[in-house]
């Protein structure tokens, strides 16, 4: 059996070797590859969401922000409560009926968290709102409610899944 001092030296050598390899790989990347890698997170988490928001066509007014109207409450309840409930119950029923098996290292908290992430509904929800409320004064309210429900669902899903261990 190795003594701790020898094991620590081996670990230190391995880490040094990995850092040297990382440095070599970094030098092998072309400038455009490095730029793409460096800008990827900015694009994914800032530019793309801003582009989506700019092209949704939500006009913010006092009426659009009044999500306590029945239309707003229905949309928020459907996306932020109905989707997670449906996904969770569907998964539970599938496991209970024997149609599916839940992996041992996969908890129900993860299923509920995934259900909340399913409540993030932009594309189809906006399309349905455009069709259902075409020409109506309720269209801005419906779109704003979709946005609010998506933020609520995404936040709750993230909170449930952030403490889950990988693998």
Residue 8 and residue 70 in one domain:
no
Residues 26, 89 share a domain: no
Let me know: does 67 contact 144? Beta carbons within 8 Å. yes
**What sign has the CA pseudo-torsion 139, 141, 147, 152?**
negative
Tell me what pLDDT residue 80 has. Answer: 93
Percent of the chain at pLDDT > 90 equals: 31
State pLDDT tens for residues 113-151: 999 999 887 778 888 988 998 888 888 888 888 988 999
Q: Are residues 158 and 137 in the same domain?
A: yes
Based on the fold, state whether residues 102 and 32 are members of the same structural domain: no
Domain that holds residue 81: 58-167
Same domain, 88 and 165: yes
Two tokens, residue 79: 């996306």
Q: 92 and 142: one domain? A: yes
Whether the model pTM is above 0.95: no
40 and 107 housed in the same domain: no
pLDDT at 5: 60
The tally of domains found in the chain comes to 2
Contact 76, 148 (CB under 8 A): yes
């Amino acid at each position: 059996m190795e003594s701790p001092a020898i094991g620590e030296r081996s670990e230190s050598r391995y880490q040094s070797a990995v850092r040297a390899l990382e440095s070599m790989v970094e030098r092998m990347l072309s400038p455009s590859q490095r730029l793409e890698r460096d800008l990827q997170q900015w694009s994914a988490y800032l530019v793309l969401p801003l582009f989506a928001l700019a092209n949704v066509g939500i006009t913010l007014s006092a009426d659009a922000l009044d999500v306590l109207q029945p239309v707003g409450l229905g949309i928020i309840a459907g996306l932020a409560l109905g989707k997670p409930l449906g996904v969770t119950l569907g998964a539970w029923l599938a496991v209970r009926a024997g149609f599916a098996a839940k992996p041992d290292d996969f908890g129900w908290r993860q299923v509920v968290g995934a259900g909340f992430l399913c409540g993030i509904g932009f594309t189809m929800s906006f399309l349905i709102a455009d069709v259902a409320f075409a020409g109506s004064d309720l269209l801005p309210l419906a779109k704003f409610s979709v946005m609010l429900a998506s933020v609520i669902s995404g936040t709750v899903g993230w909170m449930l899944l952030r403490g889950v261990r990988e693998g």
